[in-house]
Amino acid sequence: MERALKLDHQYPATHRDAFCIPTYGSMGLRSDGAKASDYSPVTYLCGNSLGCMPKSTRNAISQELDAWADRAVESHFRHRGEQQGLTSWMDIDLPLSNLLPSLVGALESEVAVMGSLTSNLNALMVSFYRPTSTKFKILCEKGAFPSDFYAFYNQCAIHNLDPDEALIRLEARESETFLRTDDIIKAISDNKDELALICLPGIQYYTGQWFDMEKITKFAHQCKGIVVGWDLAHAVGNVPLGLHDWGVDFACWCSYKYLNAGPGAIAGIFVHERHTQVGSSEKQSYLPRLAGWWGNNRERRFQMKEIFEPISGALGFRQSNPSVIDVVALRSSLEVIKDFGGINAMRERSLLLTNYLMELLMESRFYHKSAPNGVSAPGFTILTPPEEKDRGAQLSLLLFPHHSDRKLDTMERVFEYMNERGIIVDERRPNVIRIAPAPLYNTFQDVFRAVDILDEALESII
C-alpha cells in the first residue's frame, strides 16, 4: 500500500472530486467487513462498462428541465439560459462538435452526436455495406460483441446473402488469447477480391485488445474497394485515435463507458469527409443513408418540403432531433475531460494505472502466464495483450478452474467476494473478470485494493 500512496501523491487523481463515486452506503454494501464506513467510496473499477457520474451532470440536466418548465416549445429557439451561454435546443448538440473530434482524431465536420451505438452501426452499414455479386463479404471477429454480430448477420439477410458465406469471422490462434495483426492482414489479403467491408472493434470488449487500427485500415484501403468501419465502444475516451489521418471510412461509439455520459447515453458517429463531400456518390450527389429531417439543411428544415438536402459532413447522417437531456449529460462530461487535458493526458495517467495493475497482478501468487491444461488450484491468467500499444485501460482476467455449478465456480466466487467488499469490477461469464482503472477518477490505492482483495478471494477458496 505504501507504493500506491506514493504513486497517488506523485500522480494525483486531480479530477476525482468532479465525480460521484458510489459509497458502501449508497451501494447497500456492508462496510464492516471491508473496514470502511458507510460514507467511504467503494473501489469502482468498472468504467469500461458504465462510467461514474460527473457532479456537473445534475445541474446540466436541471437547467434543461427548467427550460422545459419555463418556456416549453420556445426553448428550441429561445433558451432561457442564452445569456449564460446555454444553447437553444435546435442546435443543442452543436457545441459538442468542439469537444468530441479531438477524442477520436477527426475534423469537426466528421463527427455527429446521435442515436445509440447499435442503431448507428446498423445505419452506417446501410450506407457503407453495398455488396455486389462478387464483392460481398464482411470481415469481423468470431468473438464480436453480440450486438455487432447480430447487426452483421442481419445485414446479410437484408441483402439476401447467406451469412455463413458472407461473414469471415476471425479467431485467435489455438492457445492464444488475442488476434495477431499479421493474421488479420493475411485474412484481408486472402479475401481481398470478395471483401466489401471490414468491421472490427477498436478495443475488444472481452480481451481488452487494442487493434492496430491504422495498419489494418491502410492495408485494407490499398486492396481497393474495401470499406473499413470501427466499433469504438471501448476505445473512445480510453486511447488516442486518429480516424481522419488513418483514413477510416466510418466509426461509431457509445458514450456511457469512458465518456461518462450516463446509462444508455446518446452515442456518436464518424464519417470521413471524403464520403460527405457533395458529388461523392456517382448516382446521387450524396451518399445514400437512413435519412431524417435532422440531417437536412438546417435553414430549410422547418419549411417541411419534400426535398432532402443533407447537411454536408457527419451531421447529415442525423435522423431525429436529439434528446436534450442526453446531449447535455454528454456535454458536461466532455467538459470534465477537456479540463483534465484531453485524451493524451488521460492516456498518460491510464498507462500508469494499468501498468501498476498489471505489475501487481503478475506479482500475485495466483498468477499464471497461461491457463493450465486440466484441473488446477484456483488462479488466473491475463487475457489482455501485455504491450502498452496493444491495450487500453482494461485488463481481462481468466479465472480457473471453471465449474458449471456457479456456487463452485472460481470466477463467480471471486467476483462475489470482491463485490461484497466494495471492489466493483465486472464479470463476463463463464470465467472472466474485467478490471479497468479510469484515469479521470481512479487512484493507485483503488488498484492496490482490488488486487489485494482478489488475492484474498482466491485464498479463501483454496
Ligand X SMILES: Cc1ncc(COP(=O)(O)O)c(C=O)c1O
Tell me if 395 contacts ligand X by CB under 6 A: no
Of 205 and 246, which CB lies nearer to ligand X in the complex structure? 205
Q: How far is the CB of 115 from ligand X (least distance, A)?
A: 9
Distance, CA of 462 to CA of 454 (rounded, Å): 13
| Contact call for residue 231 and ligand X (CB under 6 A) | yes
Please identify, among the stretches 72-80, 231-239, 302-310, 397-405, the one whose residues bind ligand X according to the rule CB under 6 A: 231-239
Among 201, 229, 237, 392, binds ligand X (CB under 6 A): 201
> Is 269 an interacting residue with respect to ligand X (CB under 6 A)?
no
41 counts as binding ligand X under rule CB under 6 A: no
Cα 215 from Cα 161, distance rounded (Å): 29
Question: What span, in angstroms and rounded, lies between the C-alpha atoms of 8 and 445?
Answer: 7
Report whether 293 belongs to an annotated binding site: yes
Any contact of residue 113 with ligand X (CB under 6 A)?
Answer: no
User: Between residues 151 and 398, which has the closer beta carbon with respect to ligand X?
Assistant: 151
Q: Is 75 annotated as a binding residue?
A: no
Do residues 51 and 256 touch, judged by C-beta distance below 8 A? yes
Instruction: Measure the CA–CA gap between 77 and 243, rounded to whole angstroms.
Output: 33
Region of 110 please: left (phi>0), alpha (psi -120 to 50) or beta.
Answer: alpha
When the beta carbons of 117 and 357 are compared against ligand X, the nearer one is 117
Q: Is 321 annotated as a binding residue?
A: yes
**Grid cell digits, residue 450:** 482490488
Check whether 256 is labelled as a binding-site residue: yes
Looking at the Cβ atoms of 148 and 212, the one nearer to ligand X is: 148
Q: Which stretch binds ligand X (CB under 6 A): 71-79, 142-150, 339-347, 358-366?
A: 142-150
394 is an interface residue for ligand X by CB under 6 A: no
Residue 368 annotated as binding?
Answer: no
**Beta partners for residue 426, in sequence order:** 434
Does residue 259 have a known ligand-binding role? no
- Cα–Cα distance between 110 and 124 in angstroms, integer? 13
Cβ at position 148, least distance to ligand X in Å: 5
Q: Any idea what the Cα angle at residue 54 is, between residues 52 and 59, rounded to 5°?
A: 140
234 annotated binding-site participant: yes
> Among 118, 354, 384, 442, which residue sits at the site for ligand X (rule: CB under 6 A)?
118
- Using rule CB under 6 A, residue 4 touches ligand X: no
According to the binding rule CB under 6 A, does residue 205 interact with ligand X?
Answer: yes
Count the site residues for ligand X by CB under 6 A: 12
- Closest distance between ligand X and the C-beta of residue 253, in Å? 9
Annotated binding-site residue? 390: no
- Site for ligand X contains 233 (CB under 6 A): yes
- Longest Cα pair distance anywhere in the chain, in angstroms? 71
Asked if residue 366 belongs to a known ligand binding site, the reply is no
Indicate the residue among 34 and 53 with the shorter CB distance to ligand X.
53
Answer positive or negative: Cα dihedral of 441, 427, 253, 256.
negative
Q: Where are the beta strands (DSSP E) in 134-248?
A: 137-141, 167-170, 195-201, 227-231
Backbone angles phi, psi at 83, to 5 degrees: -60, -30
Q: Which residues of 72-92 are buried (b: 16+ CB within 10 A; e: fewer)?
A: eeebbeebbeeeeebbbbbeb
Q: Which of 52, 254, 327, 330 binds ligand X (CB under 6 A)?
A: 254
Binding of ligand X at residue 327 (CB under 6 A)?
A: no
The single-letter code of the amino acid at 386 is P
Q: What's the order of all strands across the beta sheet hosting 137-141?
A: 111-113, 268-271, 250-253, 227-231, 195-201, 137-141, 167-170
Angstrom distance (rounded) from CA 181 to CA 350: 23
Q: Which helix (H) or strand (E) holds 44?
A: strand 43-44
Site string for ligand X, 143-182 (x = CB under 6 A): --x-xx----------------------------------
Asked if residues 238 and 434 have their Cβ atoms less than 8 Å apart, the reply is no
What is the C-alpha separation between 95 and 112, in angstroms, rounded? 11
Q: Does 280 count as an annotated binding residue?
A: no
Considering beta carbons, is residue 29 or 254 the nearer one to ligand X? 254
Task: Indicate the residue whose CB is closest to ligand X.
Answer: 118
- Residue 213 beta carbon to ligand X: minimum distance, rounded to whole angstroms: 14
Beta-carbon neighbour count of residue 35 at 10 Å? 8
- CB closer to ligand X out of 92 and 233: 233
Q: Is 164 annotated as a binding residue?
A: no
Among 103, 117, 239, 343, binds ligand X (CB under 6 A): 117
457, 433 contact by CB (below 8 A): no
First to last CA, the chain: 24
Which residues of this protein are in contact with ligand X, per CB under 6 A?
116-118, 145, 147-148, 201, 205, 231, 233-234, 254
Binding site, annotated residues: 117-118, 145-148, 231, 234, 256, 293, 321
Annotated binding site for pyridoxal 5'-phosphate: 117-118, 145-148, 231, 234, 256, 293, 321
